[in-house]
Structure 1
Amino acid sequence: MKEDLILIGGGGHGESIIDTIRGQDKYGIAGIIDSFKKVGSEVQGVKVIGRDEDLTACFTRGIRHAVIAVGSVGNPGPRRKLYRLCKDIGYEFPNIIDKSSVLSQTLIMGEGNFIGKGVLINTGVTLGNGTIINTGAILEHGCRIEDFVHIAPGSVLCGNVQVKANAHIGAHSTILQGVTIGSDTMIGAGSLVIKNISSKTLAYGSPAKEVGFRE
């Protein structure tokens, strides 16, 4: 019997999650919670059943699993806020993993992670909570990815890369072996990162350079 869950967020990232869930046989989607969409409207045939203030009522009705389906695009703040709100209510956060991904049996991860289509994760990798590992990303051996990191489509993390909390790795970026990306940092799309990047910075280019600070 499938377990019911709710999606919190009905945008583009939510659509990707719906597609992945439907490709499995583990969860049923009870509905979408989205404060910016009309209740009763649909996203890929899934109804919007309420707004953020309705999360407690959904839990009371017996729905125990939630998926934070809001994307980050360099700002994981809304995802963190929703995670804490749902955690306080009592929700559990399953890891949503596309069936087309290839994951090492040694992968260690927390909760609430999304692993998209065609992702490859090699041996000895650790994921925290609430990460997004998007389409076609490659995480080589020994990488350490902290909470609420977003690794965008086509990115390659060579061995033993560390990405600190809340960082964003832009699409088709390459992070060379042993490099550390600081917390709350954004790496621009298509960058080649050959040395450590400080926290709370914007960096991009080939090779990537720190070009500004982020609040």
Structure 2
Amino acid sequence: MKKKLILIGGGGHGESVIDSIRSANEYDIIGILDQTLEAGTAISGVPVLGTDELLSDLCHQGISYGVIAVGSLGDPRPRIRIYETLKQNGLVLPNIIDKSAVLSQNVSMGEGSFIGKGVIIGAGAVLGKGCIINTGAIIEHGASIGDFVHIAPGCVLCGNVSVGEHTHIGAGTTVIQNITIGDNTMIGAGSLVLRNISSHTLAFGKPAKEVGVYEQSYDYRRSRGKP
């Protein structure tokens, strides 16, 4: 019997998540909860049930799994809020891995991440929780990816790259081996990263240069009362 699963979020990223869930054929998607979509409509054939205020009732109906189905355009806060809501309701957050993705057997992952179509993740890579590794991205051996990071489509992260939590790596960016990119940082699309990039920074270009403070930076640990 398939496991019952609920999605929070029904936009474009949500459609990708639905497609990947179906490709694995492990879960039965009961419905979508979304603050902006009208109940009774459908996304990729999955019904919109209402808002996340329904979560508690759904849990009592036997749904045990929840998925963050909103994307991240450089601001991880919506995904973090959904993560916390799902955890508070006692739901399990599985990693959604598209059937076409290729992961080494010794990749380590936190919970609640999405691995899209054609992704390749090499030996010894470590991913935090709540990440998006989007279509066609390549993460090579020994890479370390922090919590709630978004690696956009077509990115290439070479061996032993480290990316701090809540950082966004824009589409088509290449990061050479042994580079460290800090927390809460935005790397613009199509960049070539040849040197370390600081936390709370906006950087882009070929080669990528730090051009300013990233204003949407967000300290998740501090928001939870931790030092």
Normalising by structure 1, what TM-score? 0.98
Shift of 1:60: 1.9
Give the Cα–Cα distance (whole angstroms) in 2 for the partners of residues 171 and 72 of structure 1.
12
Amino acid at match of 2:186: M
Give the Cα–Cα distance (whole angstroms) in 2 for the partners of residues 195 and 140 of structure 1.
17
SS of the residue aligned with 1:13? helix
Determine whether 1:59 maps to 2:40.
no
Give the Cα–Cα distance (whole angstroms) in 2 for the partners of residues 171 and 58 of structure 1.
36
Shift of 1:55: 1.6
Which residue pairs with 1:161 in the alignment? 161
Amino acid at match of 1:152: A
Q: Where in structure 2 are there 5+ consecutive unaligned residues?
A: 216-227
**What do the CA deviations read for 1:15-34 (whole angstroms, capped 9, x no partner)?**
00111111122001000000
Q: Where in structure 1 are there 5+ consecutive unaligned residues?
A: none
Percentage of pairs with the same residue: 61
Shift of 1:12: 0.4
Alignment of 1:114-129 (within 5 A): 114-129=114-129
Which residue pairs with 2:11 in the alignment? 11
Amino acid at match of 1:9: G
SS of the residue aligned with 2:24? coil
Which residue pairs with 2:173 in the alignment? 173
Which residue pairs with 1:81 in the alignment? 81
Amino acid at match of 2:86: C
Determine whether 1:140 maps to 2:114.
no
Amino acid at match of 2:122: N
Shift of 1:91: 0.8
Which residue pairs with 1:100 in the alignment? 100
Q: CA RMSD in A?
A: 0.7
Where does structure 1 differ by over 2 angstroms across 4 or more consecutive aligned residues?
none
Which residue pairs with 2:187 in the alignment? 187
Which residue pairs with 1:70 in the alignment? 70
Alignment of 1:191-206 (within 5 A): 191-206=191-206
Amino acid at match of 1:88: Q
Shift of 1:214: 1.8
Normalising by structure 2, what TM-score? 0.93
